[in-house]
Amino acid sequence: MANGYTGSGTGGDIMKVDLNKQFDKADMTWIGVSAALVWLMIPGVGLLYSGMARKKHALSLFFASMMAACLTGFQWFFWGYSLCFSHETKSVFLGNLHNFALMNVMGAPAVVSSVPDILFCLYQGMFAAVTAILMVGAGCERARLGPMMVFLFIWLTVVYCPIAFWTWNTHGWLATLGALDFAGGGPVHLNSGVSALAYSLLLGKRHDPVANGKVPKYRPHSFTTLALGTVFLWFGWFGFNGGSTGNASIRSWYACVNTNIAASTGGLTWMFIDYFRTGGKWSMAGLCCGIVAGLVGITPAAGYVNVYTSIIFGIVPAFACNFAVDLKEILQIDDGLDVFALHGVGGATGSILTGLFATNYVAALDGSVADGTALAIDGGWMNHNYVQLGYQLAAVCSVLLWGFCVTSIILFILDKIPFLRLRLHEDEELIGTDQAQMGELAYYDDSTEDDHNAYVIEPIRSTDANIAKLKAQTSKKEEEKNNKEPEIITGTANGHDELSPDENSDQSSKH
């Protein structure tokens, strides 16, 4: 290649050529900032999940978010990036190990040619980490943390990497088919949602002495923590969607505006739905869930659709996700944090809507079409390209089937290995994941004797007598709580019931 640039490998001899001159520094700056913004979403998910859980399980969920960031960082370096974005592969299914351990990942143009390989590696690694913590949230309150780590490494390799390759690598079969996914409606959200459903199914329902075999429901233990997590997510999503152009162009800012409008209308939609379903109560949990639903819905479409249609990407996914929360009652699958309802249903809804409302001229706002039509898209129904909806449905179905089936197989095999048993024993679960698995608690209350026993010296013994004792303690605490709160408690996060505290605690609230 002229000027000493190779266009592949390391990009050229850095001692002879300035590799930086191949790229616009504003583009590199924006993608670098976007990567940092996306990283903030990882603790954001951790805070959201921690706030939605019960107090005795709160710390373990935030631990899971930081663990996912660390484990994904290693997996992405080891072979994740190569399997997703290697340049030399001829496969339509999965990349090769040409860039194993980030060999030759430096200054050559990435799959997105406006930025260097090493920067694109950083940015996309954040997407993998966000997907990882979204999915493992399904293990809330009953999954063992050690096997979760083993499962997550395998899952990233054989579930996430193939789907990301199909969608975003130029050789991937969904990319060559013509399916549109701007920032991860399929690889991130639908994939994590259906995989979380499989994780919840294999783990089984949480043990609750008063649930009587139903899917247990609990109020979030901290609405403040839940709201703070949502703030981190909304803020980080501007990098998630705005950086997915791969450059600092008008299209980037257009995607950010679409993102903000969808989040706003999603939050309002869920909030008003819950207001009428709960008999006139405003719900912080409902508002936050609606914001997330809108953000999920716009993700595959942010760089393809007009701003006035982004309202639809907030309203429709929020409506669909709100009622999808009820699916766990129908399916009898204890998805305690509603990962499938929010991310699975929201991601699928957004992907399908993209087939209807994508336009070729919004996609051209990054300047990619000005010098030729090679990178132009045909758009969706807005451009009378009616076959696009079929491509989107093909993407949704393939991600759904691969994510659910392969995840189920991985979990089934792991659970048969004695030292990789997926689930806590019943007495460990009743004590709480924080104390049983970590010996640490999110909150310490000097007035509570149990809090001083957080560091467990001896292993917990799963005996019938111990389980009976813990069940009795849990039931006693529920009775004491009900006796102290005789007033009517109204409102649920999914908003169907007006409940008295002396009713079963499994009917208290979603989340």
Instruction: Give the tens place of pLDDT for each residue, 157-186.
Output: 999 999 999 999 999 999 999 999 999 999
Domains of the chain (ranges; CATH) run 2-12+23-419 (1.10.3430.10)
The model's pLDDT over 211-221, given as tens digits with 9 standing for 90+, comes to 777 888 889 99
Query: Can you give the pLDDT at residue 495?
Result: 40
pLDDT of residue 99: 94
- pLDDT-based confidence at 463, cuts 50/70/90? low
Is pLDDT at 83 greater than 70 in this prediction? yes
Q: Are 149 and 163 in contact (CB under 8 A)?
A: no
Distance CA(253)–CA(215), nearest Å, equals 43
- Mean per-residue pLDDT for 405-412? 97
Is the distance from CB of 177 to CB of 398 less than 8 angstroms? no
The per-residue pLDDT for 478 is 61
Tell me the pLDDT tens digit for each residue of 1-10: 557 777 777 8
Query: How many other C-beta atoms lie within 10 A of the C-beta of residue 4?
Result: 13
The pLDDT of residue 61: 95
- pLDDT higher than threshold 80 for residue 490: no
d(CA 66, CA 49): 12
State the Cα torsion 351-357-360-363 to the nearest 10°: -60
The DSSP annotation for 100-113 comes to GGGTT-SSSB-SST
Per-residue pLDDT tens digits for 30-70:
999 999 999 999 999 999 999 999 999 999 999 999 999 99
Asked whether residue 460 carries a pLDDT value surpassing 70, the answer given is no
DSSP state of 505: G
pLDDT at 96: 94
Give yes or no for residue 199 having a pLDDT over 80. Answer: yes
User: Please, which pLDDT band fits residue 278 given cuts at 50, 70 and 90?
Assistant: confident
The conformation of residue 384, written as its DSSP 8-state character, comes to: T
Q: What is the pLDDT of residue 70?
A: 97
Q: What is the mean pLDDT of the chain?
A: 88
> Residue 503 above 60 pLDDT?
no
Between 25-52 and 284-298, two packed helices, what is the crossing angle to 10 degrees?
140
- Please count the residues of the chain: 511
Task: In whole angstroms, give the CA distance from residue 170 to residue 209.
Answer: 52
* pLDDT classification of 457: cutoffs 50, 70, 90: very low
Is pLDDT above 50 for 253?
yes
In angstroms, the CA 285 to CA 187 distance is 26
With 70 as the cut, is the pLDDT of residue 110 above it? Answer: yes
What is the SS3 assignment for 143?
A: strand
Q: Please choose, from the candidates 274, 341, 355, the residue with its C-alpha nearest in 3D space to the C-alpha of residue 309.
A: 355
* Helix (H), strand (E) at residue 403: helix 388-415
For 340-378, what is each residue's pLDDT tens digit? 999 999 999 999 999 999 999 999 999 888 876 667 899
Question: Residue 507 pLDDT > 50, yes or no?
Answer: no
Q: Give the integer Cα–Cα distance in Å for 510 and 492.
A: 6
Task: Evaluate if residue 505 carries a pLDDT over 50.
Answer: no
pLDDT band at 467 (very low <50, low <70, confident <90, very high): low
Please, how many CA atoms are within 13 Å of residue 237, restricted to the half-sphere of its CB?
34
Which pLDDT belongs to residue 501? 38
Name the band, by pLDDT with cuts 50, 70 and 90, for residue 498: very low
